[in-house]
Each structure stands twice: as structure tokens, then as C-alpha cells.
Amino acid sequence: MKGTIEFLKSFASDKDVASITPSSKYCIRQLCEYIDFPNTDVIVEYGGGTGVFTKHFLKQMRPDARLFVFETNDNFAELLNNIDDNRLTVFHESVEDILDLLPEEVVGNVNHIVSGIPFSFFDWDMKIDILSKTKQALKSEGSFLAYQTSGHLKDPLNESFGNFTTEFCWKNIPPYFIYEAVNK
């Protein structure tokens, strides 16, 4: 309940928060079907929110895996920083700075980047810039996974990655499109 209250407060006060509730357990499970946790070394999360995906990732990840979370909202960043796990690094920064903030040895070696940030709020150039940096951060055959409220990412993903698949998650408020683009 605390996560929902934080989401509502942030939705009302932060123009960059696109949802009134945290992602559902169904959405989390559906997106995580794309992640082979036993063979994943590094996950990056764009927009950690109240930590529902973050906590799920940490439960599934190996003890030596690493998770880097980007969150610009002050309330959400504070909640994420309260998660006590040495595999977690929280950046209270924009994903636009991913290549500067990730450790040098991680850039180009990320298995999965999961995004809940509202790409629909960004203009074309910003979408392409973020997706280009995302692709640079991923290892070969690494994937970008995004859950979004509309089909607006199709053209930017085709431009940046040259591929994507999508499915729909009805069991979420609001319902989400789940995208996967692979770094080939």
C-alpha cells in the first residue's frame, strides 16, 4: 500500500511520473519471462519507481550479479536507496547519462535494460538518443525491455535496434505493451 501512496503523491507532483500505481505482479512476471536470471550478470533499470521490479530482480539474481537503477524522482530514489543489497546501485540521475555513470567495465556488457520511463513524454530526438545509448550499454544479444502504455516505441526501436517484438499485458493498471529489442 505504501508504494501505491507514494505513486499517487508522485503522480500528482512530478510531471515525469506516468502511472498512478506501481506495476502489477502479473506485469513483472510477464516481462521477466524474457530474462534468464541464472545467466544474467548485469541488469539496468530505467525508472525504478517504488522498487517493485527492483526487488523482484534482486530476488531472482545470482549473488554475484549487479543491478543499476536510474530514478530521477526524489521520493522514489529515497525508497530505492533504502533497499539493503550490495548488488544494487541507485543513480538519482537521468538515463541520458547512462554511459557516463555506469562503471567503464559494465558499458557494453549489460545483459538487460528494463525501462518503465514514459518514452511517450519525449520527442523523437530524445527517444533516439536514449535508445542509442541503451544499445551501446548492452552486450551483443543483450535486450532492451520496456513496458509502456501505448505503441509509440515501434518506430524508434526499429530505427535504433532494427528489431522488436511486443506483447500486451492486460493485468495491469494501466495495461501495458511490453517491448523487447535485441542488440544484434
Q: To the nearest 10°, the Cα dihedral for 33, 165, 7, 62?
A: 30
How much is the pTM? 0.89
Q: What share of the chain is helix, strand, coil (3-state, %, to 5)?
A: 40, 25, 40
- Give residue 21's pLDDT: 63
- Give residue 173's pLDDT: 84
Counting the structural domains of the chain, the total is 1
Whole-angstrom Cα distance, residue 155 to residue 181? Answer: 12
Whole-angstrom Cα distance, residue 164 to residue 12? Answer: 33
- The radius of gyration of the chain's CA atoms, rounded to the nearest angstrom, is 15
Question: For position 43, which CATH number holds?
Answer: 3.40.50.150
Domain that holds residue 60: 2-182
The secondary structure of residue 102, as a DSSP letter, is S
Kind and range of the H or E element at 113? strand 110-115
For helices 74-81 and 2-13, the axis angle rounded to 10 degrees is: 150
Mean pLDDT by 10 residues, the chain (184 residues): 45 43 86 98 97 97 98 96 98 98 98 95 96 98 96 96 96 91 98
Cβ proximity of 116 and 51 under 8 Å: no
Cβ proximity of 2 and 82 under 8 Å: no
**Strand 88-91 versus strand 138-148 pairing type:** unpaired
